[in-house]
Chains A and B, each alone.
Chain A
Amino acid sequence: MTMRRIVVVGNGIAGLTACDSLRSAGFDGELTIVGAERHHPYSRPALSKALLHSVDGTSVNGKGDDALQAHVLPAPTHEAEELLGVSATGLDVEARRVLLDGGGGLPYDGLVIASGSRAKRLADGQGAAGPHQDDSPREFTLRTIEDAILLRERLASRPSVIVIGGGPLGMEVASGCLHVGCEVTLVSDAKPLSRQLGGHLASLFTAAAVRRGLRVVGGGKARLAGHGAGARVVLADGTELEADLVVTAVGDEPNIGWLAGSNLLTEGSLRVDSRGRLRPEIVAAGDVAFFPTRRGVQRVPLWTSAIDQAKVAAAGLLQGDAAPEFNFQPYFWTEGFGLSLKSVGFTPVEGAPDYCEPGREDGSVLLRWDNPDGYGTAAAVNYRIPIPKLRRLADAGPAALRPVSPARV
C-alpha cells in the first residue's frame, strides 16, 4: 500500500535517523515524531563521558565549555511534525492508531517504534521496603540529560559516592565522580567490565581505576537502605556501605509498556526480523528492539547500532523484502580513568589477545583476538586509529595494517 502518513515513536538517535532515512529514501508524505523527552535528540554516550568528566565546564582534555555541549547534535532537518514531551500510551494495531498521553491519537499507514529504554532502578526490585519508604535514600541513575545535569550539580559539593553496577556506564560514572574529586566505591559482583569486554580488557580498566583511587567491592546483590541524609547499601553477604550519594547503573529496560495488548510482543520482548519488521507496516529500531545477529536474537543498545538499525527499519518499511538486511557490525567505545577504548567485533573476548602492538605513547596498545566462531575482535586502547582501519584489523588480521609493498602495486 502507499504510505502517506508515517508515525515515529521515540525521538532519540534511532527515531531521528529513521526520519532522516525515510526522507532520504524519498518519502515526502506526512511524518510525525513523538518524543517523551522535551528536547531534540542529543548524544547519550556523551552524558557519562565528556559531560560528567568536566569540572566547571573544563573537561579532562581541556576542551573548555565544549564539554558542556558535547551531547548537542545538529538540529533535525527531516521536517517532521515534532510532538515533544508527549508519550505514546497505547497502540491499536487493527485501527492503525498510536494513542497519546493526554488523550487523542495519531493514525498511521506506517509506524516506526523507537521508544528506547529507561534505567532500571534497584528500588523497583525492593517492593514495599524500597522506594516508598520515607527513609529510603534517593537513587540517582544516568540515562537522560536531566539525570546528567542533576548528578553534575550534586557532585559539585564533592560528596562520597557509591556506584552500583560494574558495566561500562557504572565505570564511566565512577570515573567521572573520581575525576571531580569524590571518594568513590564501586559495587560489582564480577570484575568490572568483564561481562561486557572479557577478562583482559576488564583488567586494564580495573587496574587503572584502582590506581586512581577507586574502591571496588563485591558481595552480592545490593539493597538500598536509609541513613539520615546519606545512603546505606547492604550487600547479600552482609557488607554495609555508607556514602552521601548512591548512583545505580544496573542496566536498562525497553520502553514497551505502551505496547501491552498490541500482540506485537514475543515473550515480553519486541523481536523484529532482519529488516526491522514486526508487521509489513510496523518496524522497530534502537534500544527497544531485539534484532537477529550472528550471536542470536538480542538487543544491541549501542549508538552506532541504533543508527544502523534505524536505517534498516526505515528501508524495511518502505521497500519490504527488497530492503537490505541488518548486518550487525559491533562498534563500542568507553572512556574512564585515563583510558580510552574503541573496539570492533563482538565482545566479550576470551583470554589473552592473539596480537598486540604497542603504540607510540605509554599505555597505548592495539589488540586483536581470534574468536572461536572464526571472526576477529580488535580493540584500540589509548591508540588513535580510524575505525575503518580497526575494522580491517578485526576482519582480516594484522596483515591489513601493513601498507601494500611497492613491488606488488
Chain B
Amino acid sequence: MRIELDRPRCEGHGLCEEAAPQLMHLDDDGELVIDVPEVDGPDLDAARSAVRVCPVAALRLAAA
C-alpha cells in the first residue's frame, strides 16, 4: 500500500508522526514528510493508525 498526503488539508497536528514515527515526521517548519511511502507487513498497521488518527483526513492509504 502507498501512503498519500493531501498537503493542503494537513494542519500539522502531527498525530500521525506519533502513531507511525518510523514512516513519517514533521520537519522543523511543521510540514509533514512521508519518509516511507510504500508500506507492507508490520508497517501497515502503523500506517493505518496514522491515517485513522488524522482529524482532518489528510492521509490516505491507496493500493500501490
Q: Which residues of A contact B (CB under 8 A)?
A: 16-17, 20, 24, 43, 45-46, 50, 63, 66, 70, 72-74, 77, 303-304, 307, 331, 333, 342, 384-389, 391
**B14 and A386 contact, CB distance less than 8 A:** yes
Asked whether A63 lies within 8 Å of B9 as measured between CB atoms, the reply is yes
Q: Which 6 A-B pairs have the closest CB atoms?
A: A384-B30, A386-B26, A386-B14, A387-B14, A73-B57, A384-B12
Closest residue on chain A to residue B59 by CB atoms: A74
Q: Are A387 and B48 in contact (CB under 8 A)?
A: no
What are 7 A-B residue pairs whose CB atoms fall within 8 Å in the complex? Answer: A66-B9, A70-B56, A74-B61, A303-B55, A384-B12, A386-B26, A388-B14
User: How far does the alpha carbon of A385 sit from the alpha carbon of B57 in the complex, in Å?
Assistant: 19
When distances are taken between beta carbons in the complex, the residues of chain B under 8 Å from A63 are: 8-9
* CA–CA, A73 and B60, complex, Å: 9
Contact string against A for B residues 1-33, beta-carbon threshold 8 Å, 1 for contact and 0 otherwise: 000000011001111011001000110011000
**A20 B21 Cβ-Cβ under 8 A:** no
In contact, A331 and B15 (Cβ under 8 angstroms): yes
User: Is B15 within 8 A of A387, CB to CB?
Assistant: yes
- Report the count of interface residues on B (CB-CB < 8 A): 23
A74 near B8: Cβ-Cβ < 8 Å: no
Does B53 interact with chain A (Cβ within 8 Å)?
yes
- A388 near B21: Cβ-Cβ < 8 Å: yes
CB neighbours (8 Å) of B9 from chain A are: 63, 66, 70
Instruction: Let me know if A385 and B53 touch, CB within 8 A.
Output: no
User: Is B45 engaged at the interface, CB distance under 8 Å to the other chain?
Assistant: yes
Residue of B nearest to A63 (CB): B8
Known A-B contacts: A74-B60, A386-B26, A388-B18. Give 13 more (CB < 8 A).
A20-B48, A43-B55, A63-B8, A63-B9, A333-B13, A342-B13, A385-B14, A386-B14, A386-B25, A386-B30, A388-B14, A388-B17, A388-B21
Hey, which chain B residues are within 8 Å of A384, CB to CB?
A: 12, 29-30
**A304–B53 touching, CB < 8 Å:** yes
List B contacts of A20 (CB < 8 A). 48, 52
Which one of A17, A45, A342, A391 contacts B52 once the chains associate, using CB atoms below 8 Å? A17
Q: Could you tell me which B residues sit within 8 Å of A by CB distance? A: 8-9, 12-15, 17-18, 21, 25-26, 29-30, 45, 48, 51-53, 55-57, 60-61
When the two chains form the complex, which single residue of B15, B17, B45, B56 contacts A43, counting CB atoms closer than 8 Å?
A: B56
What distance in Å separates the Cβ of A278 from its nearest Cβ neighbour in chain B?
A: 24
- In the assembly, what is the distance between CA of A163 and CA of B38, in Å? 47
A387 touches which of B17, B29, B52 (Cβ 8 Å) = B17
Known: A387-B15, A388-B18. A66 touches B55 (CB 8 A): no
Q: Are B8 and A387 in contact (CB-based, < 8 A)?
A: no
Q: How far is the CA of A232 from the CA of B30 in the complex (A)?
A: 45
Which residues of B sit under 8 angstroms from A342, Cβ to Cβ? 13
Whether the Cβ atoms of B18 and A387 lie closer than 8 Å is yes
Which of A16, A74, A387, A388 is close to B57, meaning CB atoms less than 8 Å apart? Answer: A74
Residues of B within 8 A of A303 (CB): 55
A50: B residues at CB distance < 8 A: 56
B61: A residues at CB distance < 8 A:
74
Residues of A within 8 A of B51 (CB): 74
Residues of A within 8 A of B14 (CB): 385-389
Contacts of B29 in A (CB 8 A): 384
Q: Is the CB of B13 within 8 A of A385?
A: no
A307 → chain B, closest Cβ, in Å? 6
A46 touches B55 (CB 8 A): yes
Name the B residues within 8 Å of A43 (CB-CB): 55-57
Docked complex Cα distance between A303 and B57 (Å)? 13
What residues of chain A lie closer than 8 Å to B57, measured between beta carbons? 43, 70, 72-74
A177 to chain B, nearest CB (A): 22
Q: Is the CB of B30 within 8 A of A385?
A: yes
A66-B8 in contact (CB<8A): yes
Chain A residue nearest to B57 in the complex (CB): A73
Q: Please, which residue of chain B has its CB at the minimum distance from the CB of A76?
A: B52
A45 contacts B55, C-beta separation under 8 Å: yes
A45, A74, A303, most chain B CB atoms within 10 A: A74
